[in-house]
Amino acid sequence: MTRTLLQWLGVAFVLGLVGLAAFALTVVKDRVRIVVQADAASTGPEPVVLLRDDLGVVARDLAELRSALGANLERLGNALEERAVARHADVQALARELAAVRQRLDAQAASLQRAEQQLLPRPEAAATAATEPAPVVAPPAPVAAEAAPAKTGGFLSFSLPATTFAFDREQRYQLVPELCRVGFDAKSTLHDFSGVTSQVAGQFTADFDDPEGAWRGEVTCEAGSLVTGVDGRDANMREYLATTEHPQIRFEIQRFVPAAGGVDVARQTARGEIEGRMQIRGVTRDLRMPVSVEVDASRRVVVSGQAPLKLSDYQVPVPSQLGVINMQDDVVIWISLRARVQVGDRK
Amino acid sequence: MRRTAGSCLPALCAGLLAGCIASNVVATEDRAVLRPVAELPFVAAPELVLDGLYESIEITGDAALALRRIYYLFRPDGTYTAAALTEGERGAAFQTLSGTWTNTAAGLSLDGADPVRLERADEHLRITAANGAVVLRRSAAP
């Protein structure tokens, strides 16, 4: 019984509370206003202003960094440039040293070759030795020291490529046109005259001390460039030489026949005859020309010589004016050539 | 007799003409192309102040084997710049260099090297080193 009473009292209490709450709500409903506001402590400047300030600071930092970076980049560029200049100088110095080393090596190689040549018997000497009893005392080695290959080195602060000149060794020579002249001497009724040209080109290979004289090469001149000093005569000459059809006069060098005792290696001179094939007006004939060879102060080979020739052998008409002024069929052709060692094609 | 005289007349005229026209045969000694450098009156030029552009007109000695042309631009302040056309295994090439010069009684020294002989003749210089000599001619200013 007590228990049921307590349950009823509980229910009644709850209902009472609910009723009291409902009553209170109706009483204070219009008197209560809820306002949400920040804490008093957080009051301060606008966030946008703060953000703007922050951006300003960041911008100043960036500007400082940019200027600092620019200065550093400039310093880096200058340093790189200085190093490049220094390296360029180093490379140039190395190149000069290499050139000097190369020259020394070439000189050593040349010396070695000369030593080998002096040690090895020459072919004719070997043949003689095979047929004759060996001499008790060996003959002295050929003296060619003064004429041995000349070596170039530095010259007035320039470093020169290694180039050698050897009178007694096979080398290729290139004509120096501005120092060459060829021509002919002719006789006529009125007076004697010469025809001359410097339009000469060519090259040849020669060992001036070679007893076999195995020279080879070619010399050409422009036939139309020959001048005699008289314009009318030059025009006639070009007609007679048919320079339009055969613009060049050619001489093919086939052999050099040294004169007896004509080669002096020490003095770098030679005398003898060049054998070859001369072509004038398209007609080719054998020709032998006595020549002399010497070496000038610039280490150029000077070849001079002359030989008689008949114009009729080359089907060149012999000029005649009115049957009175006649040119002789016999002329003398001559050469005055200078040639230098062709660098880069040494044999 | 009259025919003989008639036939001789052209030959006689030709002979007379020949006497009037001088021979223009090139003498044997004149066949070579020569440069009159050797005739320049070179004299020693100690303490000459070098100034101007010079171009080589002749190179002699072993140096001539590889050297084709040299140009020097000397300045009176003791500096110079130069170029040389050389020919070697790899063909022709220019070398350039710059440096200093001094010219004393001992000779011309380039870049502090041993002095070499310097001579002068009018607008020409001749520099003689151990392995060659070069004759330079003054050129127009660049």
Q: Which of A157-171, B48-62, B74-88 has the lowest mean pLDDT?
A: A157-171
CA distance A309 to A145: 40
Architecture of domain A163-341: Beta Barrel (2.40)
Cβ-defined contact of A157 to B32 (cutoff 8 Å): no
CA count, 13 A, side-chain hemisphere, B123: 10
CA dist., res. B68 & res. A333, Å (int) = 31
Please write the tens of the pLDDT for every residue from A85-136.
Answer: 788 778 777 777 776 777 677 667 766 765 665 554 443 333 333 333 333 3
Q: Please state the rounded mean pLDDT for residues A260-269.
A: 90
Instruction: For residue range A10-44, list pLDDT tens digits in order.
Output: 888 889 888 888 888 888 777 767 676 666 555 56
B64:A299 CB<8 A:
yes
- Partners of residue A190 in chain B, C-beta under 8 Å: 14, 17-18, 21
Domain boundaries, chain A: 2-31, 64-162, 163-341
Is B26 at the interface with chain A, CB within 8 A?
Answer: yes
* Percent of chain A predicted with pLDDT > 90: 35
Inter-chain Cβ pairs, chain A and chain B, closer than 8 A: 135
pLDDT of residue A114: 58
Long-range contacts of the stretch A236-239 (C-beta < 8 A, 24+): A236/A319, A237/A195, A237/A319
pLDDT at A207 over 70: yes
Given this model, what pLDDT does residue A73 score? Answer: 87
- Closest residue, chain B, to A296 (C-alpha): B60
Closest residue in A to B24 (Cα–Cα):
A193
Chain B, residues 45-64, CB within 8 A of chain A, namely 58-64
Lowest-confidence segment of A156-165, A211-220, A283-292, B48-57 by average pLDDT:
A156-165
Q: Is the pLDDT of residue A61 over 50?
A: yes
In this prediction, residue A45 has a pLDDT band, given cuts at 50, 70 and 90, of low
Does residue B5 register a pLDDT over 60? no
CB of B87 within 8 Å of any CB in chain A? yes
The answer to whether the CB atoms of A150 and B113 lie below 8 A apart is no
Provide mean pLDDT across the span A47-65.
88
Mean pLDDT of A192-209: 92
A247 Cβ contact partners less than 8 Å away, ≥ 6 residues apart:
A222, A223, A224
Residue A333 touches chain B, beta carbons under 8 Å: no
Lowest mean pLDDT segment, chosen from A33-37, A168-172, B131-135: A33-37
Band of residue A68 on the pLDDT scale cut at 50, 70, 90 = confident
User: Does the ipTM surpass 0.85?
Assistant: no
